[in-house]
């Protein structure tokens, strides 16, 4: 990835930035293979989700968001798991969020965060649990009025609270309470990262901070500003230590204000993270407490009037500490920003940031980002974490029926010292005639056709009139997104209109996906016209469903079984066509 960090002076950088970011004729930077791409999915007030109190509606829309992000080639979701001292997950410490049922504290009968993790894993996406650190109560709104009947820290510990629903981090008990809330989530859910917002004071601080400093100042800090920064940093430090003890694979990210301090502006007065709200994110990076910073650079590129997007991005990249990653927070909710997303992506790539994060989902749900994400990418591995390569996948197999290719494989054996393995997989496809070197294919994101958490992949490449030879490669990714050695297979794919000539025997394939929830596809092939029955049975032999009972023509056929109304468990599916009969098993996991 190109970087301007090697330029010696701002006198060189600033003119270059101006040319790069204002020229509409500039060449589009190449799409990198490693790039964090994500969207903030906001649950406060149901801004992005949930927009209904129906369980099925909530689950369906959450799957819709994940599918949308998958189509956009996002590789992570930042999901607001605790918006205002509440929980979108099963907690013994925090009340259920009001907008799951319409009533604060009411159990919705399912676990949204676990559901999200399970579905995101299938799609090969990371889950970053977004946690509002010190904004812990709704100030007022119709669905959660300010009354003591609401199960919220605002009423159970009112002495910790300040204006507009903020909790004072200068109170040790308040900090420790919130640390324990975060650790409960980390201990109970297999997330990839914890992501902190509102990790600061409200602007201006609080009137009683002087007296609190006199009472709670174990480090004997001299100035009020330094004491406030220490309080926020102490929260970060305690969470970091807790994560290292109970689940060290979990990363930690923060999203501070877009301007770090007065030196990070180009002549524009602003709220500064360091001095206006007392968040010292660069120090947290320097100490190794956090893994990435996602600064909220919610401005347009601009040519004459600051703030200038490129200038501020460059400030964060140039002044990063401890090589921690910068994922640029982009304010897509602003129409003037949304109109230039392609140029902002180009800017972050040229300047050396490791990725982009968009606020918020509703504002980019229909965006194709001007083709900037047409190629898939993986989250960049973090060099300060384990860089051990996973072993190669096992038992790669390919079934070809006409133009449809089904790949399947077994997960790698865990490497030495690996106690908590989690694998994602990359699938590459290339025409055999294009392959000069296997490694050139692996290095080029243009050949990636799937980033998935499942161990099967169905593909339909375009084939020539006389068939085409393809090579498929499959690699495993570690938790830290380190890619292992490839395994490959070569095969011939023929056009769809030739499928009738390809099926030389009856065949029933393994369903896909498997395990599944709630629907799966069952593919079978027929060499001749046959009367076909395709039935589903439970393990006790009871028929659950009949999917096909009719005469069918030769060729490949795919039938979908929607098991939304069936309990989790192992099921058998049986194909009978003429004298041919075959049964396979599958697993429904809800």
Shared-domain flag, residues 492 and 510: no
Shared-domain flag, residues 516 and 469: no
Whether pLDDT at 8 is above 70: no
pLDDT band at residue 500 under the 50/70/90 scheme? very low
| Total number of domains constituting the chain | 3
Residue 266 burial (10 A CB sphere; 0-12, 13-18, 19+)? middle
Shared-domain flag, residues 263 and 133: yes
Shared-domain flag, residues 268 and 323: yes
Q: Residue 524 is part of a domain; what is its CATH number?
A: 2.60.40.2550
Whether pLDDT at 260 is above 70: yes
- In a domain, residue 380? The reply is no
Shared-domain flag, residues 286 and 400: no
For the stretch 28-46, pLDDT in tens is 999 999 999 999 999 999 9
Of all residues in the chain, what percent carry a pLDDT higher than 70?
Answer: 90
Shared-domain flag, residues 409 and 538: no
DSSP H or E stretch at residue 448? strand 448-452
- In a domain, residue 190? The reply is yes
> What average pLDDT does the segment 401-408 reach?
88
- In a domain, residue 361? The reply is yes
- In a domain, residue 443? The reply is yes
Judge whether 224 and 170 are in contact, CB under 8 Å.
no
Whether pLDDT at 211 is above 90: yes
Of the CA atoms within 13 Å of residue 220, those in its CB half-sphere come to 0
The whole-angstrom separation of Cα 553 and Cα 528 is 7
Shared-domain flag, residues 231 and 343: yes
For the stretch 338-354, pLDDT in tens is 999 999 999 999 999 99
- How many CB atoms are closer than 10 A to CB 436? 9
> What average pLDDT does the segment 6-31 reach?
54
Shared-domain flag, residues 252 and 293: yes
Q: Residue 122 is part of a domain; what is its CATH number?
A: 3.20.20.80
Q: Residue 491 is part of a domain; what is its CATH number?
A: 2.60.40.10
The whole-angstrom separation of Cα 54 and Cα 460 is 36
Of the three residues 498, 514, 532, the one that is the final residue of a domain is 498
Task: Write down the pLDDT at residue 268.
Answer: 73
- In a domain, residue 124? The reply is yes
Which of residues 569 and 130 earns the better pLDDT score?
130
Shared-domain flag, residues 159 and 245: yes
Tell me if residue 96 falls in helix, strand or coil: strand
The DSSP call for residue 199 is: -
Of all residues in the chain, what percent carry a pLDDT higher than 90?
Answer: 71
Shared-domain flag, residues 128 and 177: yes
Of the three residues 498, 530, 550, the one that is the final residue of a domain is 498
- In a domain, residue 521? The reply is yes
Which of residues 421 and 418 earns the better pLDDT score?
421
Mean pLDDT of the chain: 90
Shared-domain flag, residues 355 and 285: yes
Of the three residues 483, 498, 513, the one that is the final residue of a domain is 498
- In a domain, residue 5? The reply is no
For the stretch 150-169, pLDDT in tens is 789 988 899 999 988 999 99
Range of the domain at 424: 394-498
- In a domain, residue 62? The reply is yes
> What average pLDDT does the segment 573-589 reach?
89
Task: Write down the pLDDT at residue 151.
Answer: 84
Q: Radius of gyration of the chain from Cα atoms?
A: 27
Shared-domain flag, residues 300 and 335: yes
The whole-angstrom separation of Cα 2 and Cα 350 is 6
The DSSP call for residue 516 is: B
């Amino acid at each position: 990835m190109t970087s301007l960090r090697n330029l010696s002076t701002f006198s060189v950088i600033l003119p270059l930035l101006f040319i790069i970011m204002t020229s509409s004729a500039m060449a589009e930077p190449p799409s990198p293979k490693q790039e964090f791409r994500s969207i903030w999915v906001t649950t406060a007030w149901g801004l992005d989700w949930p927009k209904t109190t129906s369980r099925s509606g909530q689950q369906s829309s959450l799957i819709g968001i994940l599918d949308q992000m998958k189509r956009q080639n996002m590789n992570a979701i930042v999901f607001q798991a605790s918006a205002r001292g509440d929980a979108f997950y099963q907690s013994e410490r925090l009340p259920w969020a009001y907008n799951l049922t319409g009533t604060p504290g009411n159990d919705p009968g399912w676990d949204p965060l676990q559901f999200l993790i399970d579905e995101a894993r299938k799609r090969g996406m990371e889950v970053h649990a977004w946690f509002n650190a010190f904004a812990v109560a709704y100030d007022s709104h119709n669905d959660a009025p300010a009354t003591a009947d609401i199960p919220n820290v605002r009423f159970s510990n009112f002495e910790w609270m300040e204006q507009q629903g903020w909790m004072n981090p200068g109170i040790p008990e308040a900090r420790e309470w919130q640390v324990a809330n975060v650790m409960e989530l980390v201990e109970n859910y297999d997330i990839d990262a914890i992501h902190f917002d509102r990790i600061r004071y409200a602007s201006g601080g609080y009137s009683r901070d002087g007296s609190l400093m006199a009472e709670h100042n174990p480090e004997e800090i001299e100035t009020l500003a330094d004491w406030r920064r220490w309080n926020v940093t102490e929260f970060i430090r305690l969470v970091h230590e807790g994560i290292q003890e109970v689940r060290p694979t979990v990363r930690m990210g923060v999203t501070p204000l877009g301007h770090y301090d007065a030196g990070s502006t180009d002549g524009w007065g602003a709220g500064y993270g360091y001095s206006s709200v007392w968040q010292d994110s660069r120090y947290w990076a320097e100490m190794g407490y956090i893994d990435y910073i996602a600064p909220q650079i919610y401005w347009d590129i601009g040519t004459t009037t600051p703030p200038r997007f490129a200038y501020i991005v460059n400030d964060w990249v140039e002044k990063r500490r401890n090589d921690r990653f910068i994922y640029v927070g982009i304010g897509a909710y602003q129409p003037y920003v949304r109109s230039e997303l392609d140029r902002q992506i180009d800017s972050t790539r040229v300047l050396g940031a490791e990725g982009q994060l968009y606020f918020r989902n509703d504002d980019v749900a229909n965006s194709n980002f001007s083709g900037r994400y047409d190629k898939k990418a993986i989250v960049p591995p973090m060099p300060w974490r384990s860089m051990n390569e996973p072993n190669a996948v096992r038992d790669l197999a390919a079934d070809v029926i006409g133009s449809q290719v089904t790949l399947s494989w077994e997960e790698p054996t865990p490497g030495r010292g690996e106690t908590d393995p989690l694998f994602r997989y990359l699938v590459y496809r290339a025409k055999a005639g294009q392959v000069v070197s296997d490694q050139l294919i692996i290095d080029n994101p243009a050949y990636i056709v799937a980033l998935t958490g499942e161990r099967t992949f169905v593909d339909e490449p375009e084939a020539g009139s006389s068939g085409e030879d393809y090579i498929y490669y499959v690699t495993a990714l570690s938790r830290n997104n380190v890619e292992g050695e490839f395994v490959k297979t070569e095969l011939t794919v023929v056009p769809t209109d030739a499928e009738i000539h390809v099926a030389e025997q009856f065949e029933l394939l393994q369903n896909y996906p498997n395990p599944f929830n709630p629907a799966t596809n069952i593919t079978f092939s027929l060499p001749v016209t046959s009367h076909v029955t395709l039935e589903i049975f439970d393990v006790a032999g009871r028929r659950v469903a009949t999917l096909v009972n009719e005469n069918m023509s030769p060729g490949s056929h795919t039938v979908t079984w929607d098991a939304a109304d069936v309990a989790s468990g192992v099921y058998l599916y049986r194909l009978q066509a003429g004298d041919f009969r075959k049964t396979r098993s599958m697993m429904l996991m809800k």
